[in-house]
Amino acid sequence: MVTTTPARTGHDRQPWIDPNRSSPTGRQWLRTRRYLALTAVVGLCLVVGGASSSAHAPTSGPAADSPAFQPPVVGAVNVVDGFRPPASRFGAGNRAIDLAVGADETIVAPGSGSVAVAGPVFGVGTISIDHPNGLRSVLTQMVSIEVAVGDQVEAGDAVGTATGQVSLSTRAGRAYLNPEILWGESGPPPRSGRARLVPLPSQGID
């Protein structure tokens, strides 16, 4: 059973701050905590997603209805570990992208939507946002969180801070997508349940 801190709601406006943000021991176990957190987030998001799938099911309409997406940082984007989908369900890879950030750097919502998770998962600050087109974005390694479950955010709204690194993953149903394609020049994001492979802007198709 995954144990998490009770979800923060709109009635609890006190920002969450990672108590281990300055602890050498906390930094030493960051990788372990990050792995456990990402594993727990996958399970948690599947549960939350199942309960709210009808509310966030994609609707018919032109692709222009898809919301705008952007990087979760303001200014230069420095990806230190890119999206590397595993060959199998439990294979090695990276279902997220990891971005280098400064000390207590402001992290922003990558797209508009409703906050579904806001708080520590296995001690790692985590924010999950359900987008109107059925996609879900998850930010981890937050050192402070300034939103609560149920909050409505727009792309670019500050949601908290991170130090050193922040991770962003995006799912369409159970399929993980490369978040970079959502703010690139590869066209609108795929709708939930119909993931498609799209090359990065720097890659071509023969």
Cα 191 from Cα 85, distance rounded (Å) = 19
For 110-145, letters b (16+ CB in 10 Å) and e give bbbbbbbbbbbbbbbbbbbbbbebbbbbbbbbbbbb
Residue indicated by tokens 């998001």: 45
First vs last C-alpha separation in the chain: 47
For residue range 143-194, what is the model confidence (pLDDT) as tens digits?
999 999 999 999 999 999 999 999 999 999 989 999 999 987 343 344 333 4
Give the pLDDT confidence score for residue 197 in this predicted structure: 44
pLDDT on residue 79: 94
pLDDT, residue 48, reads 43
Choice between 12 and 176, residue whose per-residue pLDDT is larger? 176
The third-level CATH classification (topology) of the domain covering 22-55+67-182 is Glucose Permease (Domain IIA) (2.70.70)
pLDDT of residue 127: 98
Q: Which helix (H) or strand (E) holds 187?
A: none
Residue, of 192 and 117, whose pLDDT is higher:
117
Q: Do residues 18 and 121 lie in contact, with contact meaning Cβ atoms separated by under 8 Å?
A: no
**Gyration radius (Cα) of the chain, Å:** 16
Give residue-wise pLDDT tens across range 164-173.
999 999 999 9
Contact yes or no for 125/141 (Cβ under 8 A): yes
Banded model confidence at residue 30, pLDDT cuts 50, 70, 90 = low
Output the pLDDT for position 194: 40
User: What is the reported pLDDT for 18?
Assistant: 78
> pLDDT averaged over the chain?
74
Q: For the chain, where are the E strands, in sequence order?
A: 16-17, 79-81, 97-108, 113-121, 124-130, 135-142, 144-145, 152-153, 158-172, 175-177
- 8, two tokens: 């923060």
Residue ranges per domain, the chain?
22-55+67-182
pLDDT of residue 9: 55
Q: How far apart are CA 164 and CA 143, in angstroms?
A: 10
| Torsion angles phi and psi, residue 74, rounded to 5 | -100, 130
Q: What mean pLDDT is predicted for residues 15-43?
A: 55
Distance (Å, rounded) from C-alpha 44 to C-alpha 99?
23
Phi, psi of 56 (to 5 degrees): -120, 20
Q: Is the pLDDT of residue 2 over 70?
A: no
The string of pLDDT tens digits covering residues 33-87 is: 554 455 444 444 444 444 344 333 333 333 334 568 999 999 889 999 999 988 8
More confident residue, 36 or 126: 126
